[in-house]
Amino acid sequence: MKGRIHSCETMGSVDGPGIRYVIFFQGCNMKCLYCHNRDTWNKNDGNLKDLDQLVQDIESLQGFYSRDSGGVTVSGGEPLLQSEFISGLFDKIHLLGLTTAVDTSGHVALTPEVKLVLSKTDYILLDVKSLDPVKHREITGVNQVYVNQFFSYVKNLNTKIWLRYVLVPGYTDSDQDLIKLIDFINEYNNIERVDILPYHVYGKEKWTNLGIKYPLEGLSPPKKENIEHFRNSIKDSCRVIVK
């Protein structure tokens, strides 16, 4: 079986626990204004990679991943658009004794294939773009129908969730946004950790290289005080690890 893959990172340290082999899948169905992987959007780009070859590559580096719950993370793009491939991959990763993680926005239909992948997932890295319907559409170009269904579904799984929230000045950083985020976190028993990720401009170069205008031109990263305000408020109000 083959998957369409953008790139792989062999020593990932931020996409789940331990050291991780991170696979960036090609293709995304959102259009985030601040996307730092703009070159993953087109589902026909990237390279076709054979499942067994990929597993061999991971196995050759297995020693790095076997400590501290390390393993393999699928990211993107939107990895769950290639669920059949990931389902086969996760079976083999578990046979190696490593953990599996899916980094997803949740903007996918809950097909049997997607549910099967989630049943084989040890960590869901859940990218929450905005909890406000208008802002969500503005940031991602899509409505919240799929993400709401996905969020409700994963709430009832035993899988650990690491929620990720990009703090974008003027889009996701108001006190109203913070209140909605805290309420959301407190509805879940399985959110273990929350990462508040300050918006940055490092992805801009990819847009420029593709000859596409960067939509957030001129927007500065959030102020340190507001990043700390978000982190401290969540720490005070929710039983989760906050980074």
Q: Which residues bind ligand SF4 (CB under 6 A)?
A: 28, 30-32, 35, 37, 40, 76-78, 105
If the CB atoms of residues 98 and 108 are measured against ligand SF4, the closer one turns out to be 108
Residue 71 has phi, psi (to 5 degrees) of 165, -135
Q: State the nearest-atom distance from the C-beta of 36 to ligand SF4, in Å.
A: 7
If the CB atoms of residues 204 and 229 are measured against ligand SF4, the closer one turns out to be 204
If the CB atoms of residues 64 and 153 are measured against ligand SF4, the closer one turns out to be 153
Strands (E), 39-172: 47-50, 71-75, 99-104, 123-128, 160-167
Q: Three-class SS of residue 33?
A: coil
Q: State the nearest-atom distance from the C-beta of 215 to ligand SF4, in Å.
A: 11
If the CB atoms of residues 26 and 121 are measured against ligand SF4, the closer one turns out to be 26
Strands 160-167 and 123-128, sheet pairing: parallel
Peptide linkage before 77 cis (omega within 30 of 0): yes
If the CB atoms of residues 14 and 61 are measured against ligand SF4, the closer one turns out to be 14
CB atoms within 10 A of CB 29: 18
| Cα distance from N-terminal residue to C-terminal residue, the chain | 37
Q: Three-class SS of residue 217?
A: coil
Q: State the nearest-atom distance from the C-beta of 105 to ligand SF4, in Å.
A: 4
Residue 25: CB partners within 8 Å, gap ≥ 6? 3, 4, 5, 6, 40, 46, 74, 75, 76, 77, 78, 79, 81, 82
Q: State the nearest-atom distance from the C-beta of 214 to ligand SF4, in Å.
A: 13
Q: State the nearest-atom distance from the C-beta of 135 to ligand SF4, in Å.
A: 14
If the CB atoms of residues 19 and 32 are measured against ligand SF4, the closer one turns out to be 32
Q: State the nearest-atom distance from the C-beta of 217 to ligand SF4, in Å.
A: 17
